Amino acid sequence: MKLVKRVVFVGLIAFVGCGTTPEGWITQPTETNLVIGGLNNLQPYFAKLQSPDRSLPDMGDFLLASCGCGDWRVLIRPTNGAPQVQFPVRFYSNGPYQPTGEVAVFGTDDDKGFSGRLNQDSGQVAGNALNGAMAAYIDGLRSDPHVGQTVDACIMCHVGDDPIFPLPPTHPQKYKTNPRVCLECHSANGQ
């Protein structure tokens, strides 16, 4: 009897575990051609983290953006108090890369990851994000170049109260009076 109880208990833990981090939530793209250097259009994508069944539409912020380090990166900023995290992602196309049509996005780092699809013509991106025990669905749109949001992405990761990669004290201080100056000295893709 005792043994049976233990087996049930262990089974329950395994089941709950599967419920919070669904197996297969992040999937490798079927496209095999790695897009060297990232997307042609450098505008970032902002979205809300939604629960997998979409019943919770705002579990935090999601950002997919190019970085001055040359990578494209994902930022996951949960509203539940868990620390924000970032990791690089790459794009995959069917055959040689073209700046139009669909591409897959994929990246993992430890217990974090993102897999999704992006339509370069409509600017829509949709996919599955994972941050430890949190699985989330995202559905976003490329930001409008006229609004100048590329620099908002830089600021989200590099400036602010709790930046993910703070600028060193030796960095030119110009951004302290106006943080929107990054692209005066850096490019969005490290070139």
Q: Which residues bind ligand HEC (CB under 6 A)?
A: 63, 65-69, 73, 75, 86, 150, 153-159, 164-165, 167-168, 170-172, 174-175, 179, 181-182, 184-186, 188
For ligand HEC, which is the closer residue by CB, 84 or 94? Answer: 84
Question: Shortest approach of ligand HEC to residue 179 CB, angstroms?
Answer: 5
For ligand HEC, which is the closer residue by CB, 90 or 186? Answer: 186
Question: Shortest approach of ligand HEC to residue 183 CB, angstroms?
Answer: 6
Question: Shortest approach of ligand HEC to residue 98 CB, angstroms?
Answer: 23
Report d(CA 164, CA 152) in Å as an integer: 14
For ligand HEC, which is the closer residue by CB, 6 or 180? Answer: 180
Question: Shortest approach of ligand HEC to residue 26 CB, angstroms?
Answer: 17
Query: For the CA atoms of the chain, what is the radius of gyration?
Result: 19
For ligand HEC, which is the closer residue by CB, 55 or 173? Answer: 173
Residue 86: exposure state from Cβ atoms within 10 A (0-12, 13-18, ≥19): buried
DSSP annotation of 173: G
Write the DSSP string, 48-62.
E-B-TTSSSS-SEEE
Report d(CA 50, CA 136) in Å as an integer: 5
The answer to whether 40 and 56 are in contact (CB under 8 A) is no
Residue, CB closest to ligand HEC: 68
